[in-house]
Amino acid sequence: MAFSFVKLLASVSLALLCTSGAVAAPWPSSISHETKRTRIVGRDATLKLDTFHPASTFETFGVDGLDHPLAARGDEFDLPDAALSFVQTKLDVSQDAVTLKSSFVGEAAQHAFVKQQHDGVAFANAVANVAFNMDGKVASFGSSFVAPSTIPSSTPSVSLEDAISTAEQTLSGTFNSHTPTLEFLALEDGSAALTHVIQIQNDTTGDWFEAFVDAHENKVLSVTDFVSRASFRVLPIDEEILTEGFQTLTDPADTTASPDAWNSDGTTTTTTTAGNNAIAFKTSQTTGTTSQSSSGLNFIYVQDATTAPTTAVNVHAATTNAFYVVNTIHDVSYKYGFTESAFNFQNNNFGKGGSGNDRVTISVQDAAGTNNADFATPADGQSGRMRMFLWTETSPQRDGALENDIVSHENTHGITNRMTGGGTGRCLQTTEAGGMGEGWSDTMANWLEQDGPTIQDYVLGQYVTNDPAGIRTHPYSTSSTTNPLNYASVGTLNEVHNIGEVWANMLHNVLASLVNAHGFSSTARTDPTGNAGNTIFLHLMIDALPLQPCNPTFLTARDAIIQADANRFAGANKCILWNAFASRGLGVNAANHRNDATVPAGC
């Protein structure tokens, strides 16, 4: 049986512009980038909330790794036991102060995520992660554990019902019935609060928060914002190019990553844009999820650019394209390590670990908005939510779901938010970490579109804007004339997409250096084996996500990539990586957003 999809070629893109987030406040000092994010929330955006995330430490132990305390016993390696004992010894805390959150075994490292706890109640924002190499030696350790000055009673004096009502009022939304939890929250003043953790959504604004409501004082102390926002600008497009961009693919599913292909969850087979990894539909996320039907499995709908996007054939084309891109990214990222046990998005996990029932729900032409798109990443086990809107700047209007860059960028938010910190969706929340989140999303779009051994400058929206400068402030480039952004730039930037450009440009240079050294594989999207530079790059980028600490910084994310190379390639690329990072100010002695070009001795 042939599955045919019409897709839009990756190289033909509409414009993608991530402009400002909701925040206009100035940030006083660089450290706030690393521990805070200021959010304006609530009805009419009237509440300014400084969310606090304890600074994380991060250590890496190279190719050799360290012994963990239980190694001396000579027992068989047990990932949770080894991780818990290492954290206790390393941080000098008792056994009842630590609890395992999640763990998984990857191809090149084994990961455990540990929470601080008190009286059996876990801290929401005090977490540690230990990675072991495949020999059972400690490869890296990240921690944001705290020593609170005061800890209140672990028995709430505010009822859950009252806390829900406070959260709904404060955040201007509705409790979504996801089971609330009771957790401690480390506060900036060094104390801790007991909180009811409650999910609040507002379908008009698209907000999806986890609210931390003080269970003794009944007020919202902090939020996790599951939504990665962006603004996208669509400029007039060349109809001819768009039409030529469509291509019919037959059986595009990768059956290693998607064993029952894209239209089955192993139990139910559909002839619609619904399957195990994603469901795409027109209308809103709340009013219905009726997927797109097809004639058999032939999803061949050629967009008619002369008519409104809401005409039937255009709805079909847009829904099909979004379904195609999300499934493709599922399969590519799966082969590089974003698997069931690593907290990916699937309904059926085929007994391979992780929580299921969380395929990506994609609303195309979502009625909730225009001129935008967003992606919400709640914890493993709740669906990722992608909302694509229509764009009103042109006539006829355009459809964001036909823009591969938008879909790739948004979908990658799901990968980075899930893989950092053990599947909680809580660990890219600071200004700096959120900025890197934007950078990884641009980088995935960049990686997918490079097609030869000379890494090209990458400009989002180049074809449609017909503007060599594109829609970011600079093209991603190995030339520091073309793109002068470097580590010190981060200290002058406050908006996550702008910070993301600095990170994406560094990663572009890392990619180019690896391809210069090792060549290019044109089959890297489907074949993760071999030693081509672009293959190595995507392994390191994805391997590093679970190594880095919760709310990483440029420094710790760099160290995680270098450790990922130690884990998978025995450090073969160490000097290539250091030289690439140092060329953009992220050398050995870089700190506090001050550039340094030093590389380790021998590089």
Which chain residues interact with Ca ion by CB under 5 A? Answer: 354-355, 358, 380
CB 336 within 8 A of CB 444: no
Phi, psi of 431 (to 5 degrees): -60, -45
State the minimum distance, in angstroms, from the CB of residue 256 to Ca ion: 17
Q: 65 or 173, CB closer to ligand NAG? A: 173
Q: 200 or 493, CB closer to ligand NAG? A: 200
List binders of Zn ion among 213-232 (CB under 5 A): 228, 230
Adjacent-strand bridge partners of 38:
50
State the minimum distance, in angstroms, from the CB of residue 381 to Ca ion: 6
Q: 35 or 228, CB closer to Zn ion? A: 228
Given the residues 210, 340, 410, 432, the one annotated as active site? 410
68-104 b/e (C-beta count within 10 Å ≥ 16 → b): bebbeeeeeeebebbbbbbbbebbebeeebbebbbbb
Q: 42 or 236, CB closer to ligand NAG? A: 42
Q: Say which residues have a Cβ less than 8 Å from residue 290's Cβ, sequence separation at least 6.
A: 281, 283
Q: 101 or 219, CB closer to ligand NAG? A: 219
Q: Say which residues have a Cβ less than 8 Å from residue 549's Cβ, sequence separation at least 6.
A: 56, 57, 58, 129, 142, 143, 144, 421, 556
Beta strands 57-60 and 360-364 are unpaired
CB 567 within 8 A of CB 139: yes
294 is a contact residue toward Zn ion (CB under 5 A): no
Q: 366 or 380, CB closer to Ca ion? A: 380
State the minimum distance, in angstroms, from the CB of residue 169 to ligand NAG: 8
State the minimum distance, in angstroms, from the CB of residue 43 to ligand NAG: 5
DSSP letter for each residue of 410-421: HHHHHHHHHHTT
List binders of ligand NAG among 191-230 (CB under 6 A): 202, 204-205
| Site track for Zn ion across 434-453, x = CB under 5 A | ----x--x------------
- Identify the residue among 35, 172, 348, 477 touching ligand NAG (CB under 6 A): 172
Q: 111 or 229, CB closer to Zn ion? A: 229
Residue 204 interacts with which of Zn ion, Ca ion, ligand NAG, none, CB < 5 to 8 Å by class = ligand NAG
Position of minimal CB gap to Ca ion: 358
Torsion sign over Cα 99, 556, 41, 343: negative
Q: Say which residues have a Cβ less than 8 Å from residue 501's Cβ, sequence separation at least 6.
A: 438, 439, 442, 472, 473, 474, 476, 485
State the minimum distance, in angstroms, from the CB of residue 48 to ligand NAG: 15
Q: 178 or 216, CB closer to ligand NAG? A: 178
Torsion sign over Cα 341, 344, 346, 347: positive
Q: 207 or 358, CB closer to Ca ion? A: 358
State the minimum distance, in angstroms, from the CB of residue 415 to Zn ion: 12
Structure tokens, 317: 């084309």
Binding residues for ligand NAG, rule CB under 6 A, total: 7
Residue 230 interacts with which of Ca ion, ligand NAG, Zn ion, none, CB < 5 to 8 Å by class = Zn ion
- Of 496, 498, 330, 494, give the one whose Cα is nearest residue 418: 330
Q: Say which residues have a Cβ less than 8 Å from residue 44's Cβ, sequence separation at least 6.
A: none
Half-sphere exposure of 493 (CA within 13 A, CB side): 24
Residue 380 interacts with which of Zn ion, ligand NAG, Ca ion, none, CB < 5 to 8 Å by class = Ca ion
Which listed range, 18-26, 166-174, 488-496, 579-587, lies at the site for ligand NAG (CB under 6 A)?
A: 166-174
List binders of ligand NAG among 36-75 (CB under 6 A): 43
Residue corresponding to tokens 């001396």: 72
State the minimum distance, in angstroms, from the CB of residue 15 to ligand NAG: 28
Residue 43 interacts with which of ligand NAG, Zn ion, Ca ion, none, CB < 5 to 8 Å by class = ligand NAG
Could you count the other beta carbons within 10 Å of the beta carbon of residue 309? 23
- Identify the residue among 174, 231, 269, 531 touching ligand NAG (CB under 6 A): 174
Phi, psi of 312 (to 5 degrees): -55, -50
Residue corresponding to tokens 């190694």: 71
Torsion sign over Cα 401, 405, 407, 409: negative
Residue 228 interacts with which of Ca ion, Zn ion, ligand NAG, none, CB < 5 to 8 Å by class = Zn ion
State the minimum distance, in angstroms, from the CB of residue 200 to ligand NAG: 9
Structure tokens, 519: 């060549």
- Classify residue 549 as exposed, middle or buried by CB count within 10 Å of its CB (0-12, 13-18, 19+): buried
| Site track for Zn ion across 396-435, x = CB under 5 A | ----------------------------------------
Task: Give catalytic status of residue 410 as yes or no.
Answer: yes
- Residue ranges in contact with Zn ion by CB under 5 A: 228, 230, 438, 441
- Residue ranges in contact with ligand NAG by CB under 6 A: 43, 172-174, 202, 204-205
Active-site amino acid positions = 410
